[in-house]
Chain A
Amino acid sequence: MPPRQTPLPRPSTAAVPPDTDGAATLVLCGDCDALQVAPKAVGWILRLRCLRCGAELPRMPDRYLEQASGPTLLLLLLGTTMLVLVAALTLPILSIEESGNLVTVNVWGTIAAFQTQHLTPLAVLMGTTTAVFPILELACLSGLLACANFSWASSVASRLARVVGLVRPWCQLDVLCVALLIAARKLAGPYQVRLGLAVPCLALVLFVDHATAPLTGSEVLWRRIMDHGRDAKTGPASPW
């Protein structure tokens, strides 16, 4: 008698649905394309790795999003982080004191330094990687959560998710923080150097950004978006 096999979610020709109340789902590794069964994320600490190449499989702790107030709280967190980011770009990031004169600079001033030296491509590059794209990423993630909270069309949400995927590799706030240390060390000889208020703000933004990185692939989030869309008769019925 053949051994009894454990039933798994079966793929259909349209879509391979995630199991709604089961313990696992099928995933493709983004790095090596291996099809594998992944357990459902149960808490903040679960990290999944591909069984073939070891790449981390992005999973959002869905249990948090399943709570009624989960997306609303996350939306508030991301909105606040966006304000903190705007403050971080505006507040002084580094200042030097030279014979009684205090020179202070913020991120916008740093970008403008390229512009005043007629190096517009560098100004554009730095402006996009340290200001425009990080704000855009946070705004799109907030929009995605707003789609889950309110009855916005799922097509809007998909566009926002794609924008997040496009701009995320180009966000370089972490590089800016290390560059800050290098500049401070170089200036430490002839000048008195002080780090500005923007530094803790940048650290907070980086932390929240890292924690919410897998949000766009959350099954629970997309189910909520689709349910709202179906209620509002703006989108097709959910495939599961």
Chain B
Amino acid sequence: MASHHGPWARREDWAGLAVVTRVRNGRELGLYTCPACRLLLHTERPIDEGCPRCRARLPGRGIPALRRDRTTAFLSAAALLLVPANVFPVITTATLLSRQSDTIMSGVVGLWAQGSAALAILVFFASIVVPALKITSLALLVASTRWWPGWRRLERALLFRGIERLGRWSMLDIMAMALLAALVRSEMARVQIEKGALAFAGVVVFTMLASEAFDPRSIWEESVSIGPRRVPKLDRENRRALPKLGGWEGPPLQM
């Protein structure tokens, strides 16, 4: 696989030669996958009957605009909580002699001062860079899906995949704080988790919900309709077109 634009995919075949293949979207052909067993289904099949393989209830393909609105709502909540999460202290360390409250950023600085540069960088990325990056990237993806559907599709798809993988690591600091609070609870020293941690956990949860609500398939659609789209039937032309799809160039396929 090397590159793609619009309905065309450019990749390398087994001999290393570039092959350009016409790719069609499942939505275009009225195809979708069962959410439970991943069987390929056609929308001509009545949804009430369920999946013929596993009998799961079929939600259909959903309405892109609704999914986009849901993503926007979760993103807005996460962006609002990002401010208190970074401004208010998340942890307080009390000893017999002193009492120190730390925000996420001052915790990173403390790790750096202790000589743990690698861990400080890790926490900085997981707790500060990743949530902010996730919110801005998802906002960009939602906006581009609505207003510039044809703009840099592959890069946007890679961006989504990247933030989806990285986003869950934002919980790192919360879990580390829980371990510290559970262990350091003697009379000499005590670790107390502050309300800022609640706001930070809210950011993590809402960004995860936003990325789950976003449908990455909408990046590859030519245009996204506002309401449910009329799905084309598998007419004779489509039936003939199906065997030409895909990039399989291996051994002969058998029925």
Contact bitstring A157-173, B, C-beta under 8 A = 1, else 0: 11101100100011010
Return chain A residues, CB-CB under 8 Å to B189.
190
Contact call B178/A111, Cβ cutoff below 8 A: yes
Q: Is B137 an interface residue (CB 8 A)?
A: no
Contact call B40/A28, Cβ cutoff below 8 A: yes
Contact bitstring B144-168, A, C-beta under 8 A = 1, else 0: 0000000000100110110000001
How far is it, in angstroms, between the C-alpha of A172 and the C-alpha of B208 when the chains are bound? 12
Contact call A13/B234, Cβ cutoff below 8 A: yes
Give the total of A residues in contact with B, Cβ under 8 Å: 93
Interface segment among B31-39, B66-74, B76-84, B224-232: the answer is B31-39
Contact call B1/A51, Cβ cutoff below 8 A: yes
A32-B216, A55-B157 as given contacts; A176 in contact with B175, CB under 8 Å: yes
Could you tell me the distance in whole angstroms from the C-beta of B104 to the nearest C-beta in chain A?
A: 13
Contact call A33/B175, Cβ cutoff below 8 A: no
A53-B220, A216-B38, A236-B52 as given contacts; A35 in contact with B246, CB under 8 Å: yes
A50's nearest neighbour on chain B, judged by CB, is: B1
Q: How many contacting A-B pairs (Cβ < 8 A)?
A: 290
How far is it, in angstroms, between the C-alpha of A24 and the C-alpha of B248 when the chains are bound? 8
A31-B216, A54-B1 as given contacts; A11 in contact with B55, CB under 8 Å: no
Q: Is B169 an interface residue (CB 8 A)?
A: yes
Could you tell me the distance in whole angstroms from the C-beta of B217 to the nearest C-beta in chain A?
A: 4
Could you tell me the distance in whole angstroms from the C-beta of A125 to the nearest C-beta in chain B?
A: 6
Contact call B183/A33, Cβ cutoff below 8 A: no
6 contacts between A and B (CB under 8 A): A30-B33, A53-B4, A103-B183, A113-B178, A122-B178, A183-B179
